[in-house]
Amino acid sequence: MAKYIGKRLLYMLISLWLIVTATFFFMRMAPGNPFTSEKQLPPEIEANLNAHYGLDQPWYVQYGEYLLRILKWDFGPSFKYKSQTVNDLISEGFPVSFLLGLEAIFLAVAIGVLLGIIAALKHNKWQDYTAMIVAVLGISVPSFIMASFLQYFLAIKWGIFPVARWEGFMYTVLPALALASTPMAFIARLTRSSMLEVLANDYIKTAKSKGLSSGAITVKHAIRNAMLPVVTYMGPLTASILTGSFVIERIFGLPGLGAHFVTSISNRDYTVIMGVTVFYSILLLVSILLVDIAYGIIDPRIKLAGGKKGE
């Protein structure tokens, strides 16, 4: 197990290095620089600024320095917000995004799995059809439209939840719902089909022939096996929640990392873009590792220690 995790950590480092490098060079290739703006800066001042931030150095020097700084977990200063470093931005924005993300993942998994199980147990009955109609809606409506819907009905018309901002738990509900709707629908469909497949297995008939009640069969034999594809989906789920948060945080005016990220892109705030990208990559890589470990725990046929090479 320890050996397996060690190996995985090494692969993660390599992936991370590739991501950092790619971001660095794509950044250079993009037209414009952080000091391009409506009003033209005098050339001397621009040269001064470039020198101050090291932008006048050859690319390999900049690249090397950047790698070194990342190793020291220092993402450098923000080009646009003079007083703040990228680390400040992350430690300020991330707790908001993290809470929102966790809430969305929880909603997506809890409601999605529940809908899927009900649909499978009531296969081809009205419960099944209802759940699947909800799921199709959830998948086909993009999260930003869902967000506006939720704001319009639940906040403006009925006043159950606040429209926007971030001032307590009630403020988190709508953005989390908007963020969760698509993955929730996807998980519902995934759970349903995997559950139907499991229920058709011989060992379910064995369980029934032992005299177990259908409740016990569902809980002890069916759900655990049906959860395997859902666990696999947790990696992509984290990614989709992350990207979804960029838009949702903007719509609800939340002071999260996603919102900062979007702003920094339109500002060409190099250090912020790169810092946040690297940070998000680490987050994703870690969550994928966790998913794989969880998978190994749920399914005893998968040996983490030696078996599965690479990946």
Partner 1 sequence: MEKILEVKDLKVSFQTYGGQVQAVRGVSFDLHKGETLAIVGESGSGKSVTSQTIMKLIPMPPGQITGGQILFNGDDIVPKSEKEMENIRGKEISMIFQDPMTSLNPTMRVGTQIMEVLIKHQNMSKQEAKKRATELLRLVGIPMPEKRVVQYPHEFSGGMRQRAMIAIALAASPKLLIADEPTTALDVTIQAQILDLMKELQNKMDTSIIFITHDLGVVANVADRVAVMYAGQIVEMGTVDEIFYDPRHPYTWGLLASMPSLENDNDAELAAIPGTPPDLTNPPKGDAFAARNQYALAIDFEEEPPMFQISETHFAKTWLLHPDAPQVNPPESVMKRIRKLSSNFEKPVLVKEGK
Stretch that binds partner 1, among 73-81, 147-155, 204-212, 253-261 (CB under 8 A): 204-212
Cβ-in-10-Å burial (0-12, 13-18, 19+) of 114 comes to middle
- The rounded distance, in Å, linking the Cα atoms of 266 and 261 is 9
Show the site string, 150-189: x = touches partner 1 by CB under 8 A, - = not. ----------------------------------------
Alpha helices, DSSP H, located in 76-158: 86-121, 126-140, 143-150
Residue type, 239: A
Q: Is 48 in the site for partner 1 (CB under 8 A)?
A: no
Q: Is 307 in the site for partner 1 (CB under 8 A)?
A: no
- The rounded distance, in Å, linking the Cα atoms of 265 and 272 is 8
Smallest distance, Å, CB 108 to partner 1?
23
Q: Is 206 in the site for partner 1 (CB under 8 A)?
A: yes
Stretch that binds partner 1, among 76-84, 132-140, 247-255, 292-300 (CB under 8 A): 292-300
Stretch that binds partner 1, among 146-154, 168-176, 213-221, 288-296 (CB under 8 A): 213-221
Radius of gyration (C-alpha) of the chain in whole angstroms = 24
For the chain, helix (H) and strand (E) counts, in that order, are 12, 0
Closest by Cα among 262, 271, 257, 285 to 27: 271
Q: Is 288 in the site for partner 1 (CB under 8 A)?
A: no
Stretch that binds partner 1, among 142-150, 203-211, 239-247, 250-258 (CB under 8 A): 203-211
Q: Is 37 in the site for partner 1 (CB under 8 A)?
A: no
Name the token pair of 226. Answer: 């049906």
Give the CA count within 13 Å in the CB-facing half-sphere of 54: 12
- The rounded distance, in Å, linking the Cα atoms of 287 and 304 is 16
Smallest distance, Å, CB 199 to partner 1?
10
Smallest distance, Å, CB 131 to partner 1?
21
What is the binding site for partner 1 (CB under 8 A)? 201-203, 205-214, 220-221, 224-225, 298-301
